[in-house]
């Protein structure tokens, strides 16, 4: 029987490598409160109890409205509506903190221990100059631009290795699927399993793990959650078009040429499928939660106008996404075994999450519970979820390395929606 001993790991230079989840990106944006409540920062606090060192993050300005993938501010619940459990989500400001992308904070705040970058793919970690704006729109990551040691030449991995980490967490690969999934299969593509470094999932992952461990650093790697089961894809039901007897004739007439008829009560939403034309959603197809922030959402969710393709996933796309998750996780498990590092089973964790965000047919919006682990975007964890995730990492570390790192008091964050 192994003796629990925290000296089995050296956390003096802990580095977190990942994407938006590890940064604390929440409520559809990166902002300081979310960053301070990320699982990596929680881990660093527990590591300090056993000799861990400083954990620097590229913090946003304390008063920033946040900056999201689409230049948006962070999401909030609109206080103008009627009750605290059924508030409409909206953005805190008309635009996000775009100034955050104009200033590199490395000299003032770096080098950084949290080397996680929103929208980063696993394949992008190894690419030099991925933060270089001169690459042109869509060919660089502005979140890395603001924190890179040298945006023109550095890769995310090179900045990680410059710290010479003694312990690492690696949780990456979500965006290799999610960028495609979150846009209804209309943008980007799923990273192929095979291919060269910077192109294929397996070769890129091997390169990253080999580099992280070559000087003797220990760490853990997380697999990928069940993407299509998170609220972003499950809150709005396929049959959320509710009609009363007085509306049936109008809708039957509206879609007569498409061969669609309606019944009183629940009906499948109408969608505009580029392959088949205007049709109704099928039972196992998914509506994307982002639709609730579209200015035309009322037309889409009342069936007056078919839902555009970017807001739903069909069965073949869902199958492709699930196949990729399974293949990636097989590769992650194999590499963890080969390199003798702990495997954090985030996929199993994602399977235990309850549907604590529901859909209001009347108000055509999500209903959020204070006990949720997801933030308002239905995609990223809130502080409660981040604390739980930190404990899953700690349990894996304790089990694999026979340590006794203390758990985070997750209940302290249970009532938070951030």
Query: What is the rounded distance in angstroms from the CA atom of residue 208 to the CA atom of residue 171?
Result: 12
Q: In what order do the strands lie in the sheet with 342-344?
A: 14-18, 167-171, 218-222, 342-344
Q: What is the mean pLDDT of residues 219-247?
A: 96
Out of 81-90, 187-196, 390-399, which region has the weakest mean confidence (pLDDT)?
Answer: 81-90
pLDDT at position 350 over 80: yes
Rounded Cα distance between 289 and 235, Å, is 7
pLDDT digits (tens, 9 = 90+) for 382-412: 999 999 999 999 999 999 999 999 999 999 8
| pLDDT confidence bin for 417, thresholds 50/70/90 | low
Which tokens go with 119?
């929208």
* 130 pLDDT tier (thresholds 50, 70, 90): very high
- Taking each helix axis from N to C terminus, what angle separates 201-213 and 315-339, rounded to the nearest 10 degrees? 30
Residue 25 confidence (pLDDT) above 90: yes
pLDDT at 330 over 50: yes
pLDDT (0 to 100) of residue 321 = 98
Condensed to tens digits (0 to 9), the pLDDT of residues 210-232 reads 999 999 999 999 999 999 999 99
Confidence of residue 88 (pLDDT cuts 50, 70, 90): confident
pTM to 2 decimals? 0.94
Burial (CB < 10 A; 0-12, 13-18, 19+), residue 235, is: buried
Q: For residue 30, what are the β-bridge partners?
A: 67
**Is 171:121 a contact under the CB 8 Å cutoff?**
no
Q: Is the pLDDT of residue 339 over 50?
A: yes
* CA pseudo-torsion sign 361, 367, 372, 375: positive
Would the pLDDT of 344 be above 90? yes
Report the distance separating Cα 68 and Cα 28, nearest Å: 6
Q: How confident is the model at residue 77 (pLDDT cuts 50, 70, 90)?
A: confident
Tell me: pLDDT of 416 over 80: no
What single-letter DSSP state applies at residue 307?
B
Tokens of 24: 């604390």
Q: Determine the average pLDDT of the residues in 87-91.
A: 79
CA dist 55 → 38, 89, 109, 269, 355 (Å) = 12, 33, 11, 47, 34
Mean pLDDT of all residues belonging to the chain: 94
Per-residue model confidence (pLDDT) at position 82:
47
Query: Do the Cβ atoms of 351 and 226 come closer than 8 Å?
Result: yes
| Least confident span in 26-30, 299-303, 414-418 | 414-418
3-state secondary structure of 123: helix
User: φ and ψ at 283, to 5 degrees?
Assistant: -55, -45
Distant-in-sequence, close-in-space partners of 22: CB < 8 Å, separation ≥ 6: 16, 38, 39, 40, 114, 116, 169, 171
Mean of pLDDT values over 229-258: 95
Among 332, 116, 125, 117, smallest CA distance to 223 is for 332
Secondary structure of residue 338 in the 3-state scheme: helix
User: How would residue 81 be classed by pLDDT, with cut points 50, 70 and 90?
Assistant: very low
């Amino acid at each position: 029987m192994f003796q629990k001993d925290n000296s089995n790991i050296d956390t003096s230079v802990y580095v977190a490598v990942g994407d938006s989840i590890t940064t604390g990106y929440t409520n559809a944006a990166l902002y300081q409160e979310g960053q301070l409540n990320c699982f990596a920062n929680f881990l660093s606090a527990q590591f300090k109890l056993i000799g861990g060192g400083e954990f620097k993050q590229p913090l946003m300005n304390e008063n920033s409205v946040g900056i999201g993938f689409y230049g948006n501010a962070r999401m909030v619940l609109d206080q103008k509506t009627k009750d605290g459990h059924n508030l409409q989500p909206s953005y805190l400001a008309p635009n996000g903190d775009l100034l955050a992308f104009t200033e590199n904070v490395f000299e003032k705040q770096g080098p950084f221990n949290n080397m996680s970058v929103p929208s980063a793919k696993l394949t992008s970690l190894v690419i030099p100059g991925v933060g270089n704006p001169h690459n042109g729109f869509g060919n660089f990551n502005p979140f890395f631009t603001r924190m890179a040691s040298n945006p023109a030449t550095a890769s995310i991995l090179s900045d990680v290795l410059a710290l010479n980490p003694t312990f690492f967490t690696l949780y990456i690969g979500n965006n290799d699927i999610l960028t495609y999934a979150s846009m209804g299969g209309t943008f980007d593509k799923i990273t192929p399993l095979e291919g060269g470094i910077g192109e294929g999932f397996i070769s890129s992952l091997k390169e990253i793990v080999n580099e992280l461990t070559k000087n003797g650093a220990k760490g853990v790697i997380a697999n990928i959650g069940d993407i299509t089961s998170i609220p972003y894809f499950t809150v709005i039901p396929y049959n959320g078009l509710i009609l009363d007897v007085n509306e049936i004739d109008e809708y039957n007439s509206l879609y007569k040429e498409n061969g669609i008829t309606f019944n009183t009560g629940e009906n499948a939403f109408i969608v505009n499928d580029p392959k088949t034309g205007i049709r109704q959603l099928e039972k196992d197809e998914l509506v994307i939660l982002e639709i609730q922030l579209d200015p035309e959402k009322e037309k889409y969710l009342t069936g007056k106008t078919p839902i555009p393709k970017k807001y739903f996933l069909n069965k073949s796309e869902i199958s492709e996404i699930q196949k990729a998750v399974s293949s990636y996780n097989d590769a992650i498990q194999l590499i963890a075994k080969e390199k003798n590092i702990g495997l954090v089973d985030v996929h199993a964790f994602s399977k235990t999450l309850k549907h604590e965000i529901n859909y209001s047919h009347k108000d055509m919006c999500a209903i959020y519970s204070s006990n949720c682990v997801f933030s308002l975007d239905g995609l990223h964890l809130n502080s409660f979820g981040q604390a739980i995730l930190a404990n899953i990492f700690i349990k894996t570390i304790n089990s694999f390395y026979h340590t006794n790192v203390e758990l985070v008091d997750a209940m302290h964050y249970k009532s938070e929606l951030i």
